[in-house]
Structure 1
Amino acid sequence: MQDSASLPATNVRRNVAMRFAARTTRRAQTGVSAVEFAMIAPLMVLLLFGSAEVSQAVSVDRKVTLAASTLGDLAAQTDRVTCTDLAQLANVTRGVFAPYNATTPSLVVATVALQSGVPKVEWSQQIDSTGGCTNVNSSHPLRVGATVPVDTALFSTNGGIVVGEVTLQYTSMGTSFVSNTITMQERFYFRPRRSAKLCLTGVSSPGC
Structure 2
Amino acid sequence: MSRIGFRILRSALDMFRDRSAIAATEFAVIVPIMLVMFFGTVEFSSGVAVDRKVTLVARTLSDLTSQAPSSAPQATYANVNDSYLQNVFTASISMFQPYPPTPTNATISEIYVDSSNVARIQWSKAATIGSGATQATLVASSRNPGDVVTTLVPPALLVKQTYLILSEVSYLYVPTIGYVMVKTGVTMSDVAYTRPRQVTCLIYNNLLPAPSSCPLT
TM-score range, shorter-chain basis? 0.7 to 0.9
Unaligned runs of 5+ in 1: 1-16
Q: Does 1:108 align with 2:107?
A: yes
TM-score (norm 1): 0.77
Using the alignment, how far apart are the partners of 1:37 and 1:105 within structure 2?
A: 42
What is the rounded CA distance, in whole Å, between the counterparts of 1:89 and 1:47 in structure 2? 39
Alignment of 1:113-192 (within 5 A): 113-115=112-114, 116-129=116-129, 130-137=135-142, 142-144=143-145, 145-147=147-149, 148-151=152-155, 154-155=158-159, 157=161, 159-180=162-183, 181-192=185-196
The aligned amino acid for 2:204 is L
Which amino acid in the other structure matches residue 107 of structure 1? A
Q: Distance in 1 between matches of 2:29 and 2:198?
A: 64
Conserved in 1, the CA contact under 8 Å of 2:119 and 2:158?
no
By how many angstroms is 1:134 displaced?
2.8
Residues 1:108 and 1:50: Cα distance change in structure 2 (over 3 Å): same
Identity of aligned residues (%): 25
Deviates more, 1:183-192 or 1:115-124: 115-124
Residues 114, 58 of structure 1: CA spacing in aligned structure 2 closer, same or farther, 3 A cutoff?
same
Q: CA RMSD in A?
A: 2.4
Tell me the equivalent position of 2:5.
Answer: none
State the structure with more CA Rg: 1
Q: How many residues align?
A: 183
Residues of 2 paired with 1:39 and 1:128: CA distance? 46
| Residue 38 (structure 2) pairs with residue 48 (structure 1) | yes
**Amino acid in structure 2 at the alignment position of 1:136:** S
Is the Cα contact below 8 Å between 2:113 and 2:119 reproduced in 1?
A: yes
Matched, 1:205 2:204: no
**Unmatched segments (≥5 aa) in structure 2:** 1-9, 69-77, 130-134
Deviation at 1:23, TM superposition (A): 7.8
Q: When you count helix as a share of all residues, which structure comes out higher?
A: 1
Alpha-carbon separation, structure 2, partners of 1:152 and 1:24: 75
